[in-house]
Amino acid sequence: MAVQTRLVSIFFIQLVLLAISGLNRASGAGLQTGFYDESCPEAETIALKTIRKAISKDGSIAAALLRLHFHDCFVRGCEASVLLDAAEEGDAEKDASSNFSLRGYDVIDDVKSAIEKSCPGVVSCADILALAARDAVRLTGGSSWKVETGRRDGRISLSKEADENLPSSNFNIAQLKQNFALKGLTKKDLVVLSGAHTIGVTSCFVINDRLYNFTGRSDTDPALDPTFASELKKKCKPGGGGPVLELDQGSSTISDAHFYKAVRQNRGLLTSDAALLNDPVTLAYVKRQSTSPVKATFGRDFGKSMVKMGGIGVLTGNEGEIRKRCAFVN
């Protein structure tokens, strides 16, 4: 009987340890600022220098780098699965329909190559994505934050998981809240991280239904400012043809809080942007950021939510690997 009791106790302890391990992975435990201070002290400097060079050549790449980190973290966690090429053609995350417009892979490869020359086999591709997102924001006039590092790279990337996990630009507020909650993110994180749309562009195709067929009856989304809708229809043809559009009209190359002013005026391009007005918590934040000079407040909030998002499902310690090339497992 004593032996049986001891075995039950050991089994219970093992279950507790497994549960704690799962919680740690969900909360980003194991990450820390300055993780590479001794093993690769120049890592962040090299990353910043490389990204600054890329943005100087193409300012639009900043938004692309920020988006890469988001799309990585929402699928399998922040472990660089979005960077992997498919083992079988068309089967990786980057091949998913929700990821067709992703770009910036070459910049991440450039950062990885430069760091490998200084510290081979030390810095993960997942950490490079997190650093690139932070640097993209600060190099476009936004605030900076301390990036927690120590992530390791995953070995699996499946297109179906991207389509299943990534939030859609057509999501309503209920769908957005559910999607973010499944990742351990709050309603405040949702509205703050939506502020990433302060930089970047989208296509006429993405907003075609809002302009021409919102309910399937050849109508326009009533949540869209009528004057703004008319302006957009002059640019965007039925069916989605037309130029690229600034997500934050008139301020798409600067990381600031102007996005929220546009949303409050019903001039947010995406359905998911307009949806922020349909919940008391997200609406209150939109109003606060759009009515006072609070760039510093938004910047601080954005950094906190980015650190929180950057801890989703991370691999640390002996989990995963440090890829030699970001597009391939070792």
Greatest C-alpha distance within the chain = 81
Annotated catalytic, 71? Answer: yes
Over the chain, what HEC string results?
Answer: CHHHHHHHHHHHHHHHHHHHHHHHHHHCCCCECCCCCCCCCCHHHHHHHHHHHHHHHCCCHHHHHHHHHHHHHCCCCCCCHHHCCCCCCCCCHHHCHHHCCCCCHHHHHHHHHHHHHHCCCCCCHHHHHHHHHHHHHHCCCCCCCCCCECCEECCCCCHHHHHHHCCCCCCCHHHHHHHHHCCCCCHHHHHHHHHHHHCCEEEHHHHHHHHHCCCCCCCCCCCCCHHHHHHHHHHCCCCCCCCEEECCCCCCCCCCCHHHHHHHCCCCCCHHHHHHHHCHHHHHHHHHHHCCCCHHHHHHHHHHHHHHHCCCCCECCCCCECCCECCECC
The answer to whether the annotation marks 22 as part of a ligand binding site is no
- Over its C-alpha atoms, the chain yields an Rg (Å, rounded) of 21
Catalytic residue among 71, 76, 183, 323: 71
The answer to whether the annotation marks 184 as part of a ligand binding site is no
The answer to whether the annotation marks 243 as part of a ligand binding site is no
Strand-pairing partners, residue 228, are: none
φ, ψ of residue 312 in degrees (nearest 5) = -65, 125
The answer to whether the annotation marks 30 as part of a ligand binding site is no
The answer to whether the annotation marks 255 as part of a ligand binding site is no
The answer to whether the annotation marks 248 as part of a ligand binding site is yes
Q: Which two tokens stand for residue 124?
A: 């993960």
Q: Which two tokens stand for residue 167?
A: 């939030």
Q: Which two tokens stand for residue 121?
A: 């086999």
The answer to whether the annotation marks 95 as part of a ligand binding site is no
Contact status, residue 285 vs residue 50, Cβ threshold 8 Å: no
Q: Which two tokens stand for residue 45?
A: 């400097």
The answer to whether the annotation marks 197 as part of a ligand binding site is yes
The answer to whether the annotation marks 77 as part of a ligand binding site is yes
Q: Which residues are catalytic?
A: 71
* Residues flagged as binding site for Ca(2+): 72, 75, 77, 81, 93, 198, 248, 256
* Residues flagged as binding site for heme b: 197
